Amino acid sequence: MTGELPLDPGQFLGIPIALVGALFLSAGAQLQHRGVNRVDGASSASGGLGLGQLRMLVSRPSWVVGTLMLGLAIVFQLAALVPSTLAMVQPLGALSLVVTAIVNSRVSGVALNRLSIVAICLCIGGIGLFVSVTAVTTRNTNVSDRALDGILLILAVVVALAAALFVTLRHRFTAIYYVVGAGLLYGFVATLAKVVIARTVQHNPSWLLVLCVVGILVAVTAGAYFVQNAYASGPPDLVIAGLTVIDPIVAVTIGLVILREAAESPLWAVALYVLSGLIAICGVFLLARHHPQIHEPATPRRDP
């Protein structure tokens, strides 16, 4: 029947896996932020963290544990992409912002205000609606070489632009610039990882997969450096808020437009994609703007 989509119940398996990954992302981000801010001169670093400061991070227990947790978050995210589409599981990472806000409130002793609670409800409602719609209207597709060429070309442009801006304007960079850069790069990491997984499952190897792996390594390295600088110049709430908005927007847009995961979606589903996405994005930005920990000094526990 025209307009009817084949529904694979196995696609739902990625949702709980992605939720576990979001929890590790939240915990890892908080610990990494604490470790970065224990490094001498990190908070006042102009033009980015130096090699000496990056080496000092390895000696911070909180940063090391946080890095391990972020590694686990990546593992769970990649595992979620095996049965599910990008559009279904990638937005679930925004739940890490909700967890971060609640945990930070407990640790700092600063209670969530009314606007923060409203923002959390918008995040949960928007994400819940988005995932519900994508779960029944998107499906995994075969990735063509042409589509893969397009993704790699766009990534090359993004990396070149990010490098040029960093070299020329890094002394003017604030946390939001680093967050935007990291979010763009991590969105491509998720997309390329999905392509590698799909090609492997389909037993369709090619030399383009080598370029995908190289692209993933470059994007992860540059994105991780941007994130550490964002931690050094801004609160963890801002970092998580930016990443959980920009990363999914980039990955889901590529998944829907280039990988055509929603090629057979009806018009009403497309409208709900936009509406639910806007609701979640509004909630994220509202929480990032009005979370009380951003305006009141926190008293985090000392890192050993």
The pLDDT tens digits for 149-164 are 888 999 999 999 988 9
Instruction: State both tokens at 197.
Output: 């997984």
Question: What residue type is assigned to position 115 of the chain?
Answer: L
pLDDT of residue 68: 92
CB atoms closer than 10 angstroms to residue 16:
13
Q: What are the counts of helices (DSSP H) followed by strands (DSSP E) for the chain?
A: 12, 0
For the chain, percent helix, then strand, then coil, each to nearest 5? 75, 0, 25
pLDDT in tens, 191-217: 888 788 877 777 777 788 889 999 999
Spatial separation of the C-alpha atoms in residues 218 and 75, rounded to whole Å: 18
pLDDT at 47: 58
Distance CA 22, CA 100 (A): 10
Q: What tokens does 228 get?
A: 């550490």
Residue type, 150: G
Handedness of CA 77, 80, 81, 84 (dihedral sign): negative
Looking at per-residue confidence, does 180 or 141 come out higher? 180
Q: Which residue has the tokens 């967050």?
A: 179
pLDDT at 274: 86
User: What pLDDT is attached to residue 301?
Assistant: 47
pLDDT score of 24 more than 60? yes
Tokens at residue 94, please?
């925004």
Residue 85 CB neighbour total at 10 angstroms: 25
Max Cα distance, the chain (Å): 65
Torsion angle, alpha carbons of 70, 107, 247, 17, to 10: 60
